Amino acid sequence: MFLDWFNAREAVDAGTALADAFPPPPSGNRARAANGRPDIQKFLQRAAREARPLKLNLFRRAKLLETFKSRLLERGVDRGTVEEMTHLLLVQLTGAGAPDAPSARTAAPAPAGSGVRRRIPALLGEVEALMGRRDYAGALERLEEILQIEPKHAVANNILGDVLCRVGRFHAAEMAFRHAIELQPAMAEAHLNLGTVLRWRGEFHAAETALRRAIKQDRRNVEALVGLGHTLSALDRAQDAKDCFEKALRLQPRHAGALCGLGWLASMDGRFEESERLLSQALEADPNCAEAWAWRVELRRMTRADRDWLEGAERLLAAGVPSMEEEGLRFAMGKYFNDIGDFPKAFAAYQRANELQKRHATPYDQSARTAFVDEMIRVYPRERLAQPLAGASDSRRPVFVVGMMRSGTSLVEQIIASHPRAAGAGELEYWHAAAAKYRDLLRRETPDPALLGRLTGEYLKILERQPAVAERVVDKSTYNTDHLGFIHLAFPNARILYLRRDPLDVCLSCYFQQFATMANFTLDLADLAHYYREHHRVVAHWRSVLPQDVFLEVPYAQLVADQETWSRRIIEFIGLEWDPVVLQFHKTERSVLTASHWQVRQKIYTSSVGRWKNYEKFIGPLLKLRDLSP
């Protein structure tokens, strides 16, 4: 029964079909809300009719909605419209006349007489006991019984989301929490749970909204404050995050999660001893705090003398932890074993971590990625990029450092940001979001001067958050690699530095890092190999069509082997005078909110070059990339 409950093939097919049939709004015009359009109302009614025979339980309904949402985004539909339509479809599928049965075994709710309803408190008690024993299959059965009796039971839907989180079914959990909120909008716990699962999936802006709603309903909700703090940290709003953690500690002085959050912020600033102290305090407050246990390995290189750390992590896993916490511990164990040179155990730990994360990530679509690269090559030929556009900015302040994740972009940002007349802005989402929002327009025509001027103006406003003395500001979002044509049209004088690292080293480093699930290509070696080949193809295109004076390729291996030569080239390329202080980049005091926060505090080292050879017998799909090696 448990596995049957998660069988969702028909729901996935239905979600794809509905997305393909969706009538998008007029290009560039969302003035009328989708729910105010007659064609949308007909579409929603059709969706309910076609979904009814599928006998959707919550998991299947979630898979239908997840597929619907992903497919619309692939089609280039504006994200705001996609979010609105997914919500409207959720309401339609859970509303009157829509298929509401909790499982394929029952076609209709049980009679809801007062005698039957009186069973619900006892069933909820059984659910709690089963969850305490980690019998999640049994808990799902009892929740099905409750939802047969009362499909619109808000508390049961909220608990159902909790159970689904514990088994790593985060998309389905999101829908359960959203349904609970539809039924009981003032339920702070459901808003908190929704914000938590959105944060786990890397949807940080949506998570912030949900968590703030939880706090609005309950201003003393410590868990919501801590969750909001972690979310704001991910959004590069460190001071706001710190305020949340400190407020949580005023309410509950020994809260392990808040102490972890402050420890995380300290490590981002390079205050590793303070971070270690805070994490130790978190573990004193809660010895089973998996987050604190996992984070400790990120503060330094582990040795065999740290055997007690490994024993503690294994003890936590043996006692049983939720799926998300197990992921973090497995990634941490991978780093521990890699640091001490036990490469078979390291790879096994990383492999388990990625398999766990893959369960709740949207599958990587190889064909969609190939189609996207084809589109970039078609839409941005040399002739288009050579034509100056009205509305473009002549500013040279932006500097774009791009490349694969884990290719050395943080290192180059740190080198540049160490210059007295430069700063690092971290990984800005601006151009990735703008390219998605205006995708239909950009592939058909040149953006009009008013739009281009507005986009460049907004972006320069973001850069104004950096000190005025900074004549160059680095945006090191690796996703900008996809959008260099669009970026060059907007800022033709901006400099672009592309970090080229050995494909096997960079892919292996991606596989060994716990990213948000939006980086779904990192969870499988075959997907990584495919993504890298497409990445290599789109970069080859940019290299051939962008002017040579704006595009510089920086080979990572040569940079770490000859730091001064390449540092001089980088500083000269972005139009600044040489300053030897950049050679002491590891001493620069600034927040580094990336996975490389520890590495950029160290002197240049070469041990990461050729690291893939330690894992050669485990990485078969990546070995095919050797023909692309420098």
Give the end-to-end CA distance of the chain in Å, rounded to a whole number: 52
Q: Three-state DSSP class for 75? A: coil
Q: What is the pLDDT of residue 59?
A: 65
Q: What are the residues whose beta carbons fall under 8 Å from the beta carbon of 544, sequence distance 6 or more?
A: 382
In a domain, 251, yes or no: no
d(CA 604, CA 601): 9
248 neighbors 215 (Cβ within 8 angstroms): no
Mean pLDDT of 488-503: 96
Pairing status of strand 422-424 against strand 472-475: parallel
Task: Give the least confident one: 3-7, 219-223, 253-257, 259-263.
Answer: 3-7
Q: What is the pLDDT of residue 603?
A: 54
Q: pLDDT tens across 547-597, in order?
A: 999 999 999 999 999 999 999 999 999 999 999 999 887 766 545 455 444
109's tokens: 């709710």
Q: Measured between alpha carbons, how far is 160 from 144 in angstroms, rounded to an integer?
A: 9
**Domain CATH code at residue 502:** 3.40.50.300
Looking at per-residue confidence, does 83 or 139 come out higher? 139
**Looking at residue 22, what is its pLDDT?**
85
Could you tell me the pLDDT band of residue 312, with boundaries at 50, 70 and 90? very high
For residue 553, the SS3 value is strand
Range picked from 6-20, 168-182, 339-353 for highest mean pLDDT: 339-353
Q: Is the pLDDT of residue 329 over 90?
A: yes
Digit-coded pLDDT (tens) for 512-525: 998 876 789 999 99
Q: Which of 343-347, 414-418, 588-592 has the lowest mean pLDDT?
A: 588-592
Contacts of 113 (CB under 8 A, 6+ apart): none
| CA atoms of 553 and 546, how far apart (whole Å) | 12
Paired with 401 in beta bridges are 497
Query: Over pLDDT 90: what percentage of the chain?
Result: 55
Tell me, yes or no, whether 517 lies in a domain: yes
The average pLDDT across 189-216 equals 93
Question: For the chain, how many residues are written?
Answer: 630
Could you give the C-alpha distances from 274 to 265, 266, 299, 524, 594, in angstroms and in order? 10, 6, 10, 35, 19
Residue 93, both tokens = 């599928």
Instruction: Using alpha carbons only, give the angle 542, 546, 548 rounded to the nearest 5 degrees.
Output: 120
Q: Which tokens go with 310? A: 């490994």
Residue 26: pLDDT band (50, 70, 90) is: low
Beta bridge partners of 422: 472
pLDDT of residue 590: 46
54 or 226: whose pLDDT is higher?
226
Spatial separation of the C-alpha atoms in residues 613 and 597, rounded to whole Å: 25
pLDDT of the residue at 31: 38
Residue 475 bridge partners (DSSP): 400
CA distance 571 to 579: 8
Instruction: Summarize the chain as % helix, strand, coil (round to 5).
Output: 65, 5, 30
Most confident of 36-40, 363-367, 495-499, 511-515: 495-499
Measured distance CA(545)–CA(548) in Å, rounded:
9
**Token pair of 424 as six digits:** 């690092």
Q: For position 350, what pLDDT does the model report?
A: 96
Residue 607 confidence (pLDDT): 64
557 assigned to some structural domain: yes
Tell me what the mean pLDDT of segment 8-13 comes to: 72
Q: Measuring CA to CA, which residue among 486, 477, 401, 395 is closest to residue 437?
A: 486
Q: How far is Cα 157 from Cα 174, in angstroms, rounded to an integer?
A: 10
Residue 350 near residue 312 (C-beta atoms within 8 A): no
User: 211-225, 258-272, 478-492, 595-609 — which is least confidently predicted?
Assistant: 595-609
Is residue 502 included in any domain, yes or no? yes
**Does residue 5 surpass a pLDDT of 80?**
no
Is residue 213 included in any domain, yes or no? Answer: no
Residue 439 lies in a domain: yes
Residue 441 lies in a domain: yes
Task: Label residue 49 left, alpha or beta by phi (over 0 means left) and psi (-120 to 50 means alpha).
Answer: alpha
Asked if pLDDT for residue 602 goes beyond 70, the answer is: no
Give me the number of domains the chain comprises. 1
The residue segments making up the domain with residue 427 are 390-628
Q: Which of 338-342, 434-438, 596-600 has the highest mean pLDDT?
A: 338-342
Quote the Cα angle for 378-379-383, to 5°.
95
Per-chain mean pLDDT for the chain: 85
Backbone angles phi, psi at 623, to 5 degrees: -65, -20
Mean pLDDT, residues 342-360 taken together: 93
**pLDDT value for 448:** 83
| Residue of 94, 106, 99 whose CA lies nearest to 145 | 106
Q: How confident is the model at residue 25 (pLDDT cuts 50, 70, 90)?
A: low
Let me know if residue 205 belongs to a domain: no
Confidence bin at 323 (pLDDT 50/70/90)? confident
pLDDT class of 153 with cuts at 50, 70, 90: very high
Q: pLDDT tens digits for 57-101?
A: 666 777 788 778 877 877 777 777 887 788 788 777 765 333 333
Burial class of residue 378 in the structure, from the number of CB atoms within 10 Å of its CB (0-12 exposed, 13-18 middle, 19+ buried):
exposed
